[in-house]
Structure formats: C-alpha cells, structure tokens
C-alpha cells in the first residue's frame, strides 16, 4: 500500500522507538506522542502529552491519521500507577480519537499474559482460541491492567465503530532487555531454571514490524493476534546463548507448582510465583503459535534466535 500517516504513542520507549523505525522503513509518515520531549528520528512529528492527564494534545495528534499504534503503557510499579498509565491512558486516547469524528485503524499493544495459560495442560498450544484469564485477582498488576485495557479498548472501539487490532506479543526482548520472569526463580546469584517448554519470545523488531503491518490493514471489528518469534528456544538454550554471571540450577516446575497448590487457600496474600495462576503461566511448559498473525498480516519474523541474540549481545 502507499504511505499513510501513523500516530505512535509511547514512541520514546523500547517498543515505541522500534515501531517508529519500522514505520519509517515502510515509507510512512510518523507522528510520535511522548510524555516528555525526547530525541526522535528526522521527519517524525512530535507531540508531548501525558495521556492519562487529559488535555487537547492527543486529539490534535490524532487528526488526519489513518492508523494509531498504541504502545504507551507502564510495565511495573504499583497497581495504581500501572492502571493509570495503561488503562486510564487508553481510555483517554480512545475518547480523544472519537472527538475528532474520524475513524483511524487502532492497533493496541496488549500481551500474551491476558490468557488463562495456567488452566491449560502442560505441553498445550497457546493460541488465539484460548480463554482469557478468569482469575485476574490472582495475577500480577501488569496482567490485571492489560485485561482491563483490552476491555476498555473493545468497549470504546465498538461504541465508535473503530477497527481494532489487539496485538498480544510474548516476551519482548532485544538489546538491553534480556531478563524475563519465564526463566525461573532468582535467588540472589542463583537462578533456579525451570525445565522444558518454549520461551514465548517476541523480538522487539519483529513486534514493531507486526504493529506496522496491522496499521496498514483494517481489522474486522476487534481482532486478536499473538506475536511470537518463529525460532523459540527452551530455557536452557536461551541461557546458554546469553552471557551472565549467575549460577544456573535446573528446577522442575512441578515442585514449585505442588507448593503453590498446597498454599492456594492463602493465594491472595502470597508473592507472585507462589500464586498458582502466575507460576503456571510463567513456568509450565507450553507451545506458542503465530500462525494467525502470519495469515492476517502477511508478516514473518526475520531473525533466527541465534542471530537475534548475537545482535542483542553486541
């Protein structure tokens, strides 16, 4: 397709920066919505605003764009902070778009964490047909916010007749972002590595390219797509390829799962990995599919794992 104008929110973040680069590489015109002034590639039109704080800037930024890629969110912090910067900000963005009277294609960055993966059997395939998490109160603040974010986006997209992609990446990784909670249990300098099963990695450039591909295509109502790499290593392969000074000891996930099951009556008061839905989502061996994204977006991850890791470590 020909060049379009795309607004990228959270354009100063790890994924946002990659998305801006990917959009420019495809020849599109890019507007960047950032919370504070930041360096941006030449030709990118900047808009500075705190989405959750309200104000007229998001509406001005959304005027006359054909697509909006909403990367802005908070990954960590208190429940209140994550909710503000993820759920409240998303609601504010959609309201700002609706006030323009225009109907751009909306691309929301969600997460694989919204699925109730802990209810699956070990070795199951996690794809878009899987149910969302039914026990959100037992999951972490990030997952609760992502579930609420999707619900808000779908409600407002339906009300305003906005086409909406719910893009659900796995673990977004790349240079400077190599640690993740799916590797095992960290105890100081020791990592108790969980056993078999794929890591649901999604290299930042692959995710960015999928987001731009989605921005070019109109969703049928609200459509969800899972984004993971083609070459998904197990934990042992990932840690062997990655440099690091930790002592790594193998741990069968069922040992901790049994403990979490015994402690289930106290789950609401336990730390994350001792709450069974959290533990099973992060450590239980599963398989992951990106087949639907390939079919709908004509998108393919470019980098095999070894190449991507070498680049991340360079």
User: Total domain count for the chain?
Assistant: 1
Residue 235 lies in a domain: no
Residue 311 lies in a domain: no
Residue 192 lies in a domain: no
pLDDT at residue 12, rounded to an integer: 95
Q: Are 67 and 28 in contact (CB under 8 A)?
A: no
Residue 242 lies in a domain: no
pLDDT at residue 162, rounded to an integer: 97
Residue 67 lies in a domain: yes
Residue 248 lies in a domain: no
**CB-based contacts of 292: which residues, under 8 Å, 6+ apart?**
127, 128, 225, 226
Q: How many CA atoms lie within 13 A of 184 on its CB side?
A: 24
- Domain residues for the domain of 61 are 5-177+200-229+287-305
pLDDT at residue 249, rounded to an integer: 81
Residue 313 lies in a domain: no
Residue 105 lies in a domain: yes
The span from the CA of 163 to the CA of 228, in Å, is: 23
pLDDT at residue 46, rounded to an integer: 97
Over residues 248-287, the pLDDT tens digits come to: 888 777 777 776 677 666 656 556 666 777 878 888 899 9
- Low-confidence spans in the chain with pLDDT less than 70: 243-245, 259-260, 263-274
> Whole-model pTM above 0.75?
yes
What CATH number did the domain enclosing 43 receive?
3.40.50.720
pLDDT at residue 268, rounded to an integer: 63
């Amino acid at each position: 397709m020909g060049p379009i104008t795309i607004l990228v929110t959270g354009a100063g973040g790890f994924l946002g920066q990659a998305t801006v680069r990917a959009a420019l590489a495809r020849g599109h015109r890019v507007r960047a919505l950032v919370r504070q002034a930041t360096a941006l590639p030449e030709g990118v039109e900047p808009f500075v605003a705190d989405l959750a704080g309200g104000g007229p800037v998001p509406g001005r930024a959304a005027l006359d764009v054909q697509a909006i890629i909403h990367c802005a969110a908070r990954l960590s912090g208190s429940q209140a902070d994550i909710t503000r910067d993820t759920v409240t900000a998303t609601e504010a963005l959609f309201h700002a778009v609706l006030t323009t009277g225009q109907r751009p294609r909306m691309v929301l960055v969600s997460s694989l964490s919204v699925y109730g993966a802990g209810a699956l059997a070990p070795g199951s395939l996690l794809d878009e047909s899987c149910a969302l998490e039914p026990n959100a109160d037992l999951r972490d603040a990030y997952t609760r916010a992502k579930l609420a974010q999707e619900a808000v986006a779908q409600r407002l997209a339906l009300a305003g007749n906005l086409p909406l992609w719910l893009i659900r990446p796995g673990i977004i990784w790349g240079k400077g972002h190599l640690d993740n909670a799916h590797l095992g249990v960290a105890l100081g300098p020791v990592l108790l590595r969980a056993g078999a099963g794929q890591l649901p990695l999604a290299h930042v450039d692959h995710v960015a390219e999928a987001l731009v591909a989605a921005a070019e295509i109109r969703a049928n109502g609200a459509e969800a797509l899972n984004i993971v790499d083609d070459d998904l290593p197990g934990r042992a392969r990932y840690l062997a390829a990655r440099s690091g000074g930790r002592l790594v000891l193998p741990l069968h996930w069922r040992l901790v799962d049994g403990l979490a099951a015994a402690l289930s009556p106290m789950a609401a008061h336990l730390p994350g990995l001792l709450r069974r839905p959290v533990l099973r989502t992060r450590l239980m061996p599963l398989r992951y599919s990106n087949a639907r994204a390939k079919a709908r977006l004509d998108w393919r991850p470019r980098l095999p794992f070894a190449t991507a890791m070498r680049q991340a470590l360079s």
